[in-house]
Homo-oligomer: A and B are copies of this chain.
Amino acid sequence: MKTKATLKNISETLHLSISTVSRALKNHPDISEETKRKVMELASIIEYEPNTHAINLRTNKSKIFGLIVPVISNFFYHSFISSVEEEARQIGYSLLILQSGNDTQIELDNLKLCRLNRVAGVFVSIATHTKEIKPFLKLDELDIPVIFFDKVPSFEACNKICLADAEAATLAAQVILEKNKKNVLAIFGNTELSITQKRQKAFSEKLSSHPAQINVIITNADSAAEALQLTLQFCSSQQRPDTIFSMSDEILTGVMKGIQQLRLKIPSDISVLSICNNNFIPELYDPVITFIETSGSDLGKLAFKRMMDHLSGKTFVQQLTVPSRLIEGGSI
């Protein structure tokens, strides 16, 4: 005789109307204390749980945030997701996690999923080649806030939470200047990525603005393997650089593998400086690598805060930036 616990069920047992039961459970002032007591008691006994789907249908919303990223197997997104999940959980929301695989079509499908599920909001880091942002704006029309983070569109009127890409690179260049390094091998990422362009530009400008005579070789690597090759190539000869700068965690791993292979000692033989998302990769090595942190979890917290603002009505558009900071290790 396991009858489903519904408002209707309770109402029939107690000879009340459905609406009265509903209001009683919500502690509505229209309902007498006596009735509330009875309703709550029975509800607790039969373990009543409101039907989420019915509520969603009624309210045309759900207590779920959509989160679309190119890949979740990535240090940065990883810490971002963790951080957002944590915050969301505390206010009773969950995360619908979707990978685009950096494929614009899948991204569109994912976006559609968010729409169909009437998610409360969407966090999205767009695929590399995504140009069309109309589909994203479409969500905004449905009252679903869209917060872009990290990989954001160039379109102005939308919410963007970014890392201080240029600033991090400038900071790195500054460290190199302060440490009085003269021969730098700088390895950046794929030249098509805007983050690469920004960092490369800022890095070069900062160094060239300085009177000191610094020899800088700028290179680009698409993967850790390529970074490894570059490291081997440029560090094998006698006049190897005194410093290697890496733009990302991934590149750093390639660089470090090369350094191990060449049996170079850090920092006596060669110095290393990198931009990283957190201390995980830098602390794998001895000495710990000095790096500029561009924190994924900080970004997550900020993005979440922005989302909350939106949900509570502060719907103005804003572009925010998470500052980066130097974390000293012993590699430079």
Contacts and interface: CB of A to CB of B under 8 A. Distances in A.
Contacts of A50: 116
A157 to B, nearest CB: 20
A25 interface: no
Interface size class of A (residues with CB under 8 A): 35 or more
Interface in A222-264: 253, 256-258, 260-261
Interface in A80-128: 81-82, 85-86, 89, 94-99, 106, 109, 112-113, 115-118
B99 A89 contact: yes
A154 interface: no
A253 B286 CA distance: 11
A17 interface: no
Nearest to A260: B286
Contacts of A285: 257, 260
A213 interface: no
Given A54-B57, A95-B98, A97-B97, 16 more contacts: A49-B115, A49-B116, A51-B57, A51-B116, A53-B56, A53-B60, A71-B82, A72-B78, A85-B97, A85-B99, A86-B99, A89-B106, A94-B96, A94-B113, A96-B97, A257-B283
Interface of A: 49-54, 56-57, 60, 62, 64, 71-73, 78-79, 81-82, 85-86, 89, 94-99, 106, 109, 112-113, 115-118, 253, 256-258, 260-261, 283-286
8 contacts: A49-B112, A49-B115, A51-B116, A53-B57, A73-B82, A94-B96, A94-B117, A256-B284
